[in-house]
């Protein structure tokens, strides 16, 4: 123990810092050599480690960081459909070579969704019934948006089911919870539409 500016300090010649921020992916962990770290309490110690995290950026961080982008295309023959796109996203992950990071997957249309849930046909039927109750397609004249088009319900269904998902990548695999799968939700199909897959990590 010593004293710095009148406060108690612990002498910690080797303070082990876990670089938790994935943005600084130059190295997972670093030994920080320091004479002393002021630490009145746990909160201050946490603050100290945050500051240390910020000061340690591997010089080759830009080289270590990988970025991957791909568009997936879908042309659904029906107005609405749910498609399990997990195999395509896993293929993107393999192509990227990224082992630790994040996958972002989003619909690039405002009448389609990307969401995560169970690959269970009964549930998909239930979604269809539920969404039709929330925002019935017909009569199309009930929507002010439907001037020269008929997809107001699709905009609303997409809003409820969401635009995108983010999945952690751990040891080169999508780090899913139990039964989680990625779906493309089409609400205004019968034309070519896109999904973006963006992967960042190392
Ligand atoms: Zn529209």
Cα 176 to its chain centre, rounded Å, is 11
Residue 148 corresponds to which tokens in the numbers above?
């020269």
Are 84 and 96 in a shared domain? yes
Are 72 and 52 in a shared domain? no
Q: Which domain holds residue 15?
A: 2-62
CATH of the domain at 197: 2.60.120.460
User: What CA dihedral angle connects 151, 153, 159 and 165, to 10 degrees?
Assistant: -70
Residue 53 corresponds to which tokens in the numbers above?
């995290």
CA of residue 147 to ligand 1 center, whole Å = 9
Task: Note the helical H segments in the chain.
Answer: 42-55, 61-64, 86-96, 121-134, 152-161
Are 38 and 110 in a shared domain? no
Please state the pTM of the whole predicted model.
Answer: 0.70
Residue 173 corresponds to which tokens in the numbers above?
């695999």
CA of residue 149 to ligand 1 center, whole Å = 6
Are 58 and 107 in a shared domain? no
CA distance 105 to 190: 21
CA of residue 153 to ligand 1 center, whole Å = 8
CA of residue 182 to ligand 1 center, whole Å = 25
Q: How confident is the model at residue 64 (pLDDT cuts 50, 70, 90)?
A: confident
Q: What is the pLDDT of residues 152-198, one digit of tens each?
A: 999 999 999 999 999 999 999 999 999 999 999 999 999 999 999 99
Number of structural domains, the chain? 2
Are 112 and 21 in a shared domain? no
Q: What is the pLDDT of residues 96-150, one digit of tens each?
A: 999 999 999 999 999 999 999 999 999 999 999 999 999 999 999 999 999 999 9
CA of residue 148 to ligand 1 center, whole Å = 9
């Amino acid at each position: 123990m010593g004293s710095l500016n009148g406060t108690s300090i612990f002498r910690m010649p080797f303070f082990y810092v876990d670089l938790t921020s994935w943005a600084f992916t130059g190295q997972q962990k670093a030994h920080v050599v320091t004479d002393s770290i002021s630490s009145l309490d746990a909160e201050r110690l946490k603050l100290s480690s945050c500051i240390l995290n910020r000061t340690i950026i591997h010089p080759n961080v830009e080289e270590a960081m990988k970025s991957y982008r791909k568009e997936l295309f879908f042309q659904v023959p029906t107005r609405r459909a749910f498609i399990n796109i997990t195999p395509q996203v896993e293929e993107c992950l393999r192509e990227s070579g990224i082992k630790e990071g994040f996958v972002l997957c989003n619909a690039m249309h405002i009448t389609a969704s990307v969401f995560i849930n169970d690959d269970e046909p009964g549930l998909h039927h239930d979604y269809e019934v539920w969404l039709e109750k929330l925002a019935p397609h017909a009569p199309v004249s009930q929507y002010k948006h439907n001037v020269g088009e008929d997809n107001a319900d699709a905009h609303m269904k997409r809003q409820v089911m969401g635009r995108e998902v983010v999945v952690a990548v751990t040891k080169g695999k999508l780090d899913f919870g139990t039964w989680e799968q990625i779906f493309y939700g089409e609400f205004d199909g019968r034309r070519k539409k896109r999904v973006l897959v963006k992967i960042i990590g190392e």
